[in-house]
Amino acid sequence: MPVNQQKHIASFLDYLKFQKRYAQHTITSYENDLTGFVDFIEIQYGSLSPNELKPTFIRSWLATLKGQDFSAKTINRKISALKTFFKYLLKQGLIEVSPMTTIVSPKQSKRLPEYVERKDMGTLFDYVEFTEDWKGNTERLVLELLYNTGIRQAELIGLKENAIDFQRGLIRVLGKGSKERIIPVSPTLVISIKNYIDAKKKELENPNREFLLVKDDGQKLYPKWVYNSVKKYLSLVTTIDKKSPHVLRHTFATHLSNNGADLNAIKELLGHSSLAATQIYTHNTIEKLKDVYKKAHPKA
């Protein structure tokens, strides 16, 4: 790699680290993407300054990546790295025009979110046995909350005792960007939460009373604990590939959509900032209808 390019990349990475406060894994990804790009340019076109780089050179690199079967998602990430890099060089006065202005990102195929079938969720809560100890009680309530509210894993862990409105059957959830939303819960879940809090006082010695869910040592849950518990129980009732807390969020939204819930209502319950993020659940509904049609219609 030419020395001047190494200098520009090093300066750019320092900018990301110290001014933009990017995570280290993101900085490493940018470094790998930029190094790969610069090495390609040097092999194909020789040692060029940033001002000599043209959109045609970049398209040539992208075509090579596509020929190597890189996914659209990976290519888009590399394009994003280049755009950010050249924007930085522009800001520093090292180039006059960014060669990325005419570069178009390839379209990514939308993957439908995986979810657990309704009958399988019924099996989980009606027939699967949870251990009759504190861990078993907590695991069951974790699954009930995730499925009945669609909250994120971090929101679940951060759920506080005083966020439960037992009279009105509501919970206050602190979501992304510290945005609060209100989610209605069923009378059955309200009773489960109340019983859990009562048991916490009686069974645990000096438990954390701020957060609702705690381990058997009385301390709040952590992400790996929640993930492992969800994966363990979902493995008993479904064969889908992903068995994470987020899958239960998808399951919550998909089941609502399949049963005719208004998309705007689902958006509010999930805490999405825009309707675009919620619309993917209508695709799940459409795919389900297609499947029913193919199986049931004689001319399908």
Q: Where are the domains of the chain?
A: 3-91, 118-296
Q: How distant, in Å, are the alpha carbons of 16, 41, 54, 78 from that of 11?
A: 9, 20, 22, 18
Which fold would CATH assign to domain 118-296? hpI Integrase; Chain A (1.10.443)
Element (H, E) at 171: strand 170-174
SS3 77: helix
Of 135, 220, 272, 283, the catalytic one is 272
Range with the lowest mean pLDDT among 21-25, 43-47, 109-113, 202-206? Answer: 109-113
Residue tagged active-site, from 249, 250, 255, 267: 249
* Pick from 86, 59, 84, 62: nearest CA to 74: 62
- Is residue 246 annotated as part of the catalytic site, yes or no? yes
Instruction: Name the active-site residue from 135, 172, 209, 246.
Output: 246
pLDDT band at 288 (very low <50, low <70, confident <90, very high): low
From the candidates 54, 118, 168, 176, which is the catalytic residue? Answer: 176
> Across residues 130-135, what is the average pLDDT?
95
87 part of the active site? no
The predicted pLDDT at position 289 comes to 63
Share of the chain above pLDDT 70, in %: 93
Residue 169 scores a pLDDT above 80: yes
Overall fold of domain 3-91: DNA polymerase; domain 1 (1.10.150)
CA distances in angstroms from 92 to 14, 28, 58, listed in the order given: 14, 22, 21
Clarify whether 77 is annotated catalytic: no
Q: And the tokens for 151? A: 């909250």
Instruction: Give the pair of three-digit tokens for residue 7.
Output: 């200098």
pLDDT of 57 higher than 60: yes
CA atoms in the 13 A half-sphere facing the CB of 65: 22
Whether the model pTM is above 0.85: no
One fold for 3-91 and 118-296: no
CB 38 within 8 A of CB 5: yes
Side-chain half-sphere exposure of 141, counting CA atoms within 13 A: 26
Q: In this model, does residue 300 exceed pLDDT 60?
A: no
Residue 292 has pLDDT above 80, yes or no: no
What are φ and ψ of residue 73, in 5° steps?
Answer: -65, -45
- Least confident segment among 134-148, 180-194, 251-265: 251-265
Confidence of residue 277 (pLDDT cuts 50, 70, 90): confident
The dihedral through the CA atoms of 41, 44, 48, 54 has a sign that is negative
Answer yes or no: 281 catalytic. yes
Q: Which residues of 24-36 are buried (b: 16+ CB within 10 A; e: fewer)?
A: eeebebbbebbee
Could you tell me the pLDDT band of residue 258, with boundaries at 50, 70 and 90?
confident
